[in-house]
Structure 1
Amino acid sequence: MSTDALFCSLSSQRIAELIRAARQSVCYAAPGIQSDEALAMVETGGRLGSEMLTVCLDFDERVMRMGYGEISAVKLLRDAGVSVRSAPGLRTALVIVDDTGFVFTPTALYLEAEPTGSVAPNAIRMSGEQMAEALARLSPAAKAIAVAQAKTPEEKLRIEALPLDVGSAQVTDDQFAKVGINLKEAPPVRFDLARQVRVFEPYLQYVELSLTGAAIQRHRLAIPPSIQKLGSSKDLENRLRTTFELIEKGSKLSSKPLEDALNDIRKNFTPSLGKDHGRVVLKAAKSHLIERLTTFREKLKKHQADVAAELQKHLDESREQIIAYYLPRVIETPPDALLGQLLSGKPSDDDARYWLKEELDLVFPSAESLIQEMKLNERFKDVTFETLNRKDFLESVKVAFPKVNWDTAYDEFRAVGERDGKKGTE
């Protein structure tokens, strides 16, 4: 890095090198701190004294989940007796080592890797006056260092008169323990893997679509055992152990037109990647999918209203068909459950009909209960690292969406992984 460049690149490793070269003092203020920087702080504090080090962070688990810093780095500092202060919401960063200082943009490792080389500048060099003012306005300890380093009495008076701009407080044991427990119970994701996943996140999303409760034509009614046993022979009894279709095939109450329409939506917008992958939608086409599903829900709502107007009549007709079929058998061979309720020894048509109706009431659904179950379910899920690493993933995606240049995205996915792999796991 050029010694006089105004714009430059600062990585954790480069900041650690600056800190290790300190001869007088170090001030570090940022959302978080990485282990390289903290270890350099500890080593430098051993030479200069921990009181010559100023560390100000936003000590919050959300900061660490974004990859701005590590709790293990804060532990290194605290164990070495280095004071760590917390300024909630701090996002601007600066590092001042002796008479060299930079304002820099910290890297959220969850989003991207740290800059490398001079082609990725993320820092601006500070002037001497800017450094003195920044120290004075950052914290009481930093202000004391700035006052001590002032070269003239006038400069010292000017620095002493500057107000503090950053509200901060010492990180307490309880605060440190609470954040540590939260991160242990729900550890941050591996940042290298998260960055690889984000290569494909703008392209794809898994989607599950299902229609429930609409296929009333497939509802079958189990004939009650008390009715199944009617008959004079074992052969007849076995023949009657059947189920009964509540709605006849081809009825206008059938959900087949709806199911066909939903299958068309699936086919056009959510191709399958195979049984082990499920269905996906291009995020670029998701708005069209949502429009089609909105229209489909209107169709489902209309179907529900049509069914509501006709279903109870169909159910009553189905009940009458069963009663008419079994009525002669009840009169011919009355079941004991009926005979035990009669004053006369033989049931009349009304007696038989009433008994059959009571038995069927136990198993017949109401129209209202069937209609309330009709629902379109949709569920969207983002891609995961495990999904992307399946051997057949890319080929399956290419087949499903042949007009998209997936090689470009996959090359970027591989490049991110290789680049991060050289650094190791964050």
Structure 2
Amino acid sequence: MATLGGPNQTFAVASDECLIELIRSARNQLVVVAPALTTHVATALADRCGDETVSLNVVLDADPEVYRLGYGDQAALETLRVAMTANGLALARQAGIRIGLIVADERMLVYSPVPRLIEAGSENQDKPNAVVISGNAARQVATAAAGGGKSPSEIGLEGLGPDDIRKIETELSNAPPQQFDIARAIRVFSSQAEFVELEIENLRVTVRRVPLPSDLMGIRSEGLISRINSTLSAPPEVNGPFDIEVEQADGTTKAAKVDSRWVNEQRASLEREFTFLVPRHGRVILIRDKERFQAELGRFERNIDRYKAAASAAFGKSRQDFRKALIEEFLPAWEASPPDYVTRYYPHPSKEQVRDRLGERLDGLLEEASSFQPIRCRVLYKGITWASANDPEFTNSLTETMRKRGVPRAELAKLFSEFDAAKGQTGQ
């Protein structure tokens, strides 16, 4: 338990125990300045309110945000106000004050208040957040904070009355502070790990079966009958596999047969190597692995670009070949008996006019039967949510998955250490 220490101590830890010790040591003058106070410290101050031998001045902030950040406890404000009012004393306020100090006679502690929403604070003397000052400097600061003689106070010029406190209570009731231990757990999760989603869009050519109109019936070619049976469909070869040069991890390339299955296997390999699947929640990646993951993802995307170029070229060639075969199949029948919508504009159409109209007719059907959209690879990172951080099923499942994947216990301890080190304060 951290205490103020001996008279020669300069650096200290401003724990509640340390502040209370200094408050109780005052014999003539006690000045307290802070954004807000915890209930323990406010109770110790309330006990000194009835001591007529001690001059007591307290300056606090009046912004509800100080309680949402965890600089103090809302209940402490009312505890102190009641005690000071009962003894003819008044609270003072200083907007935006973010330093803390206690002057007890000729000894002063200047400290950095801990926002418990962000960190739990420390009682370890190796992690000081305060300085102990004695003598004239302490008296000078006390005068600047509380006034004295002909010197007016520099801060706390306005009172903090019942109406101000009711306003604070109302705002905190409408938007209450978070549970500090859970908020810190989320922060630790966010700094150590986060959710990740890897999506690939338009991986396959969109294929549909399109009914043939009456003017395109009667297929004779056996090569087309297998692909056209009263309906038109896209050729299967447009989805590969394609022979391309695939970039390897060492930067070299290697010939491989690539199709949508290959792409999905590569994505699964990336997910297995760098992420941890938590059922019903999603995949989690450690922040320390993101740089390597992004590098491998870049290689993966370059290989997808190669696949995309091959697929696009194959799609274009296949459609042109298919279109040519269809024109050769239907052109004789159209030339012998052109459809009405051809003769409507060309009463005596030439062979080229019939071919052009047939080509336009087939282009519309082929576009309806198949389309090629650019393949896109997208990665999305999301922070760990309050619900996930507060869900034992999630935390236990993630721990077990990481353990099975060989993550060292020391790394797991870093991920979850804040749960042990940052428990919410009790007894307040």
Give the alignment's TM-score, normalised by structure 2. Answer: 0.67
Q: Which residue identity is paired with 2:297?
A: L
Question: Structure 2 matches for 1:249-398, cutoff 5 A?
Answer: 249-250=239-240, 252=242, 256=260, 258-270=263-275, 272-301=276-305, 312-320=316-324, 338=341, 349-350=354-355, 353=358, 356-357=361-362, 359-360=364-365, 363=368, 370-371=373-374, 374-383=375-384, 384-386=388-390, 389-390=393-394, 391-398=396-403
Going from structure 1 to structure 2, the CA distance change for 1:332 and 1:27 (only over 3 Å counts) comes to: farther
Match of 1:212 in 2: 201
| Structure 1 residue identity aligned to 2:141 | A
AA paired with 1:220? V
Pick the aligned partner of 1:221 from 208, 226, 240.
208
Q: For the Cα contact (< 8 Å) 1:230–1:333, is it kept in 2?
A: no
Which residue of structure 2 aligns with residue 400 of structure 1? Answer: 405
Where is the helix percentage greater, Structure 1 or Structure 2?
1
2-side partners of 1:176 and 1:230: how far apart? 84
Letter in 2 for 1:375: R
Distance 2:364 2:170 in 1: 60
Q: Tell me how far apart the structure 2 counterparts of residues 324 and 74 of structure 1 sit (CA, whole Å).
A: 91
CA contact (8 A) 2:60 2:94 kept: yes
Give, in whole Å, the separation in 2 of the partners of 1:24 and 1:279: 61
**1:24 and 1:48 in contact (8 A); partners too:** no
Aligned-partner Cα distance in 2 for 1:54–1:388: 43
Closer, same or farther: CA 351–296 of 1 in aligned 2, 3 Å:
closer
Q: Is the 8 A contact 1:398 1:406 kept in 2?
A: no
Figure out how many residues of one structure are paired with residues of the other and give that number. Answer: 390
Indicate if the aligned counterparts of 2:109 and 2:130 stay in contact, CA closer than 8 A.
yes
How far is the alpha carbon of 1:133 from its aligned partner?
A: 0.9
| Superimposed CA distance per residue, residues 121-147 of structure 1 (whole angstroms, 9 cap, x where no aligned partner) | 654433242221112334xxx123xx3
CA distance in 2, matches of 1:175, 1:347: 93
Within 1, Cα distance between the matches of 2:157 and 2:337? 92
Deviation (angstroms), 1:212 = 1.7
Paired position in structure 1 for 2:252: none
User: What is residue 240 of structure 1 aligned with on the other side?
Assistant: 230
Query: Secondary structure in 1 aligned to 2:136?
Result: helix
Give deviations 1:141-176, integer Å, cap 9, x for gaps. Answer: x123xx3xxxxxxxxx7xx3x995x69877799998
Question: Residue 223 of structure 2 corresponds to which residue in structure 1?
Answer: none
Per the TM alignment, residue 94 of structure 1 is displaced from its structure 2 partner at its CA by 0.7
Q: Which amino acid aligns with 1:424?
A: T
Structure (1/2) with the larger strand percentage: 2
Contact 1:398 1:404 in 2 (8 A): yes
| Alignment partner, residue 152 of structure 1 | none
Residue of structure 1 in register with 2:93 after alignment? 85
Change (3 A) 1:247 1:183: farther
Q: Residue 14 of structure 1: CA displacement?
A: 5.3
AA aligned to 1:189 is: Q
Residue aligning to 1:133: 140
SS state of the match for residue 70, structure 2? Answer: coil
Q: Which amino acid aligns with 1:106?
A: P
Change (3 A) 1:359 1:311: closer
CA distance in 2 between partners of 1:192 and 1:408 (Å): 17
Q: Which amino acid aligns with 2:205?
A: R
Q: SS state of the match for residue 268, structure 1?
A: helix
CA contact (8 A) 2:233 2:369 kept: no
Larger mean Cα displacement after TM superposition, 322-331 or 272-281: 322-331
Compute the TM-score of the two structures, normalised by the length of structure 1. Answer: 0.67
SS, match of residue 244 in structure 1:
coil
- Name the CA shift for 1:341/1:407 in 2 (closer, same or farther; >3 Å): same
Alpha-carbon shift at residue 226 of structure 1 (Å): 6.0
Deviation (angstroms), 1:332: 10
> Which residue does the alignment assign to 1:151?
none
Quickly say closer, same or farther: Cα 1:30–1:393, change in 2 above 3 A. same
Corresponding position: 1:69 with 2:55: no
Q: Which moved more, 1:183-192 or 1:339-348?
A: 339-348
Query: What is the RMSD computed on CA atoms of the aligned residues?
Result: 5.1
Structure 1 residues 291 and 339, CA gap change in structure 2 (3 angstroms): closer
Task: Name stretches of at least 5 consecutive residues in structure 1 with no aligned partner.
Answer: 148-156
Specify the code of the residue in structure 1 equivalent to 2:399. Answer: L
In the TM superposition, 1:84-123 aligns within 5 A as 84-88=92-96, 90-98=97-105, 100-116=107-123, 122-123=129-130
Which runs of 5 or more residues in structure 2 are unaligned? 219-225, 245-257
| Amino acid across the alignment from 1:218 | V
Equivalent in 419, 423, 426 of residue 424 of structure 1: 426
CA–CA distance in structure 2, aligned partners of residues 425 and 354 of structure 1? 84
| Contact 2:59–2:91 (Cα < 8 Å) also in 1 | yes
SS in 2 for 1:397: helix
Q: Provide the rounded CA distance (Å) in 2 between the counterparts of 1:333 and 1:188.
A: 82
Q: Which range is displaced more, 277-286 or 10-19?
A: 10-19
SS at match of 1:292: helix
